[in-house]
Amino acid sequence: MNQSHPPVKRQTILIVSGSENGLVALELALAEHGLGLAYVNRGDAALSLAEEGHVALVLLDAALAGSASLELCERLARRNGLPVLIMSSAPSEDERERARQAGAAGYVRLPFATADAVNNILVELGARGLWSDGAPASLDPANLEINYHTLLAGSPDSILLLNVADRRPIDANAQAETLFGRSVAELRHKELAQLCPPLQQDGRLSADVVDDLIERVLGGEIRVFPLSFQHANGRLIDCEIRLVPLEKDKHHLLHLRLLDVTGQRLAEALRAGQNKLLEMIARGAPLHATLDRLVKLVETQSPELLCSVLLLDEDGKRMRAGSAPSLPGAYMAAIDGMEIGPMVGSCGTAMYRREAVIVSDIMHDPLWEPYRGLASAYGLRACWSMPIMLNEGTVLGSFAMYYREVRHPSTEDQRLISVATHLAGIAIERTRREAELQQHRKHLEELVADRTAALRHAKEQAEQTNAELARALEHLSLTQDELVRRDKLAALGAIVAGVAHELNTPIGNSLMVATTMSERTNGLREDVSAGLRRSALEQYLQQAGEANELLVRNLTRTAKLVASFKQIAVDTASSQRRRFTLDKFVAELVLPLAAALKHPDLRVVQEVAPHLEMDSYPGPLGQALSNLFENSVLHGFGGRPGGTITIAGRAVGEDEVELSLADDGAGIAPEHQGRVFDPFFTTKLGAGGSGLGLHITHNIVTGVLGGRIELHSAPGAGTRFTLHLPLVAPR
């Protein structure tokens, strides 16, 4: 079929759908009533045809554009004033309500029967009087009413023709008879409200609700209404009804189309109940409460239904009552503790066989022969039971459905008991797993308690041992302090002797020169009294000049020795902190040191990376490097013709610099490497070494500069001192 059928007639039924299935038959059927058909598969095309004014009614497929179909429905119904019937396979209550709010006149179920669709269209058009002047006489409402019984008989829906005056049906089709369980004659003797339960689901009187609906329809409201009816056997029937007013010979009639949505409501209630049950199971609700909720949920699916859950003992032999809130307590007490077996009613046999057992008539089934009196005493006539399985080999219990009449399960009943059994299995398994977990947890707590006691005992022993170790350590510390004190005193005695020797030489020389010059001065004074000769004066002056040089040299040496003693402690408060570039700082430091070298063949190499900026104390850093430099010159190259001193620097990470001073001199003996930073340790005592230079350097690096210093040396392979310093010194 093409997208549309131009030209569009004045009385045209517009189909808006993505599928053309069934449209050929519908087009032929509508043509018999003088109606045309147009088909489009887009919303904009539908709006365009509606604007032309030839469309009488629209059939809109809900699946055409999802939620956008309701927007299209609203535009067609309210802007263009067209009746719109929504086509859907299984509309939910929520979908129906949203469709009503969008202006939909009703629903046509998919896939539709041609006769049903035509009947819905004719009734809708007849109710609205939407007939063109050129329509054939067969479409006149009067003629439509004359053939009304024929239309009722051919409709697949349940149809009633209601007399508004007495609220009683005057006609009904076979589907309505089946729906109510009453013949047409019986229906004619009942008011519409008498076909309903006394109260509707909202608590209102059914008679008031019926009167209200009729008044609203007669007032021009066109919509689908929910209404609960009652079958002749007392079973409730939830329906959606569509009321269309008709008139014949001044009699006011109502066309009632009833759609049984009981199954849909029950399915929705079951689905919602399942979700709540799963929530209870997930929250760890007690098993009894969960099973009670499950049994009551299943019982709501049928008013005559009674359900029970039996649990199988862990030994796999005896049945225990799980939940049966609607069955007599005495009956459940009687079967509690029974052993399962091949002839133990429905439940015991189902658990024994591990398969469903259907007993439609307890009074005549051999499985119930030993228990017929028990079942009969409580009016139970049918029992269908299904085992609750954990897996193929483990039975947890059974779920049973009882009726007080002989009854065989329908397909829906079998599906319902299968769902109930599955949910019961989830709940029981979860409870068993929780019990096992609780048992494991208890065992674990016992193990933890035992281990805690053992650990507490071990801790007490450890504390006792630690106390003994602490006492031993304290004694050792005292002994060590005493040894250190003795070592320091011994070292101090040795260095005092060395310092005394170092100071004694220049001081002794100075004293000797001063004494000699004192004697010469006294002799000169006598020569002056006796008559000083020029040669004697010149000789005195020459001796005085030589003595003066000796005094200055010896006293200068003494001053340097004293200054080196004062550098043992570095005070950060007296040091100036500033930012400086390391390569430039080293270059400025090395320049005077290299110029003062007395070794013409000794080279100084600088390998400091550029742009390394430090925030530190340049004074102490310069002193440390100078001490290392002088140490290399004095100890590394003493007695050697020449060599190389290399000063290198590089960044390590983002906040540290590595600065090293290395030489290729004599190296340091292994037995001396552990003492080079000790105060007053020197191998050149009396030969220009005070034993304080490296100790002072160590104090500077680890103190004011906030770093550390490492030594790498081997005899004959040179020495390397490496300083690891932060780019930003501590404050």
| pLDDT tens readout for residues 329-341 | 999 999 999 999 9
> 67 with 174, same domain?
no
- Domain containing 706 — which CATH number? 3.30.565.10
Give the pLDDT score at 525. 78
Return all residues near 701 (Cβ < 8 A) that are at least 6 apart. Answer: 624, 707, 708, 709, 723, 725
Indicate whether 176 and 322 sit together in one domain: no
Between 133 and 422, the more confident residue is 422
- Number of domains within the chain: 5
CA Rg, the chain, in Å?
57
Please tell me whether residues 283 and 418 are part of one structural domain: yes
Average pLDDT, the chain: 82
Q: What pLDDT was estimated at residue 138?
A: 39
CATH at residue 305: 3.30.450.40
Both 276 and 394 in a single domain?
Answer: yes
List the CATH number of the domain containing 45: 3.40.50.2300
Residue 572, pLDDT > 50, answer no
Q: Examine residue 700 and state whether it is found in any structural domain, yes or no.
A: yes
User: With the CA atoms of 178, 180, 185 and 191 taken in that order, what torsion angle do they form, in degrees rounded to the nearest 10?
Assistant: -150
Which of 260, 282, 299 corresponds to the end of one domain? 260
Q: Which residues pair with 257 in a beta bridge?
A: 159, 242
In a domain, 151, yes or no: no
Please say if the pLDDT value at position 623 is more than 50. Answer: yes
Q: Same domain for 248 and 279?
A: no
Specify the 3-state DSSP secondary structure of 132: coil
In whole angstroms, give the CA distance from residue 14 to residue 83.
11
The rounded distance, in Å, linking the Cα atoms of 108 and 291 is 40
Residue 369 inside a domain? The answer is: yes
Burial grade of 198 (CB within 10 A; 0-12, 13-18, 19 or more) = exposed
Within a domain: residue 632? yes
Residues 207-218: pLDDT tens digits?
999 999 999 988
Answer with the one of 146, 177, 208 that is the final residue of a domain: 146
Same domain? 269 vs 217:
no
Residue 718: left if φ>0, alpha if ψ -120 to 50, beta else—which one?
left
What's 196's DSSP letter?
A: S
pLDDT band at 487 (very low <50, low <70, confident <90, very high): low
pLDDT reported for residue 154: 53
656 and 557 in one domain?
no
The pLDDT tens digits for 71-105 are 888 888 887 788 898 888 777 767 777 888 888 88
Q: Assess whether 584 and 560 both reside in one domain.
A: no
Q: Do residue 553 and residue 456 come from a single domain?
A: yes
Query: What's the confidence (pLDDT) of residue 607?
Result: 94
Please choose, from the candidates 96, 132, 131, 70, the residue with its C-alpha nearest in 3D space to the C-alpha of residue 242: 96
CA angle 115/89/61 to nearest 5° reads: 80
Question: If pLDDT is split at 50, 70 and 90, which confidence band does 2 have?
Answer: very low
Looking at the structure, tell me whether residues 140 and 5 fall in a common domain.
yes
**476 three-class SS:** helix
Domain assignment present for residue 411? The answer is yes
Higher pLDDT, 349 or 143: 349
Q: ∠468-473-478 over CA atoms, to 5°?
A: 130
C-alpha dist (Å) from residue 399 to 4, 338, 361, 387: 57, 16, 18, 6
731 lies in a domain? no
Q: Measuring CA to CA, how many Å separate 126 from each of 171, 214, 229, 244, 633?
A: 18, 18, 27, 9, 122
CB 693 within 8 A of CB 627: yes
Beta bridge partners of 604: 645
Q: Give 167's pLDDT tier (boundaries 50, 70, 90).
A: very high
CATH number at residue 164: 3.30.450.20
In 122-273, beta strands by DSSP E: 158-163, 168-172, 224-230, 236-248, 251-260
Average pLDDT over residues 235-262: 84
Residue 29: how many CB atoms within 10 A of its CB? Answer: 17
Domain limits at 194?
Answer: 156-260
Is the pLDDT at 143 greater than 70? The verdict is no
* Cα angle 597, 603, 606; round to 5: 110
Taking each continuous run of H as one helix and of E as one strand, the counts in the chain are 21, 22
Shared domain check, 332 and 215? no
Which tokens in the block code for residue 239? 């329906």
pLDDT band at 199 (very low <50, low <70, confident <90, very high): very high
253 with 274, same domain?
Answer: no
Helices (H), 56-110: 68-74, 93-101
> Considering 531, 566, 601, which residue would you say is the last residue of a domain?
566
Predicted confidence at residue 442, as pLDDT, reads 83
Tally of CA atoms within 13 A in the half-sphere of 67 that contains its CB: 1
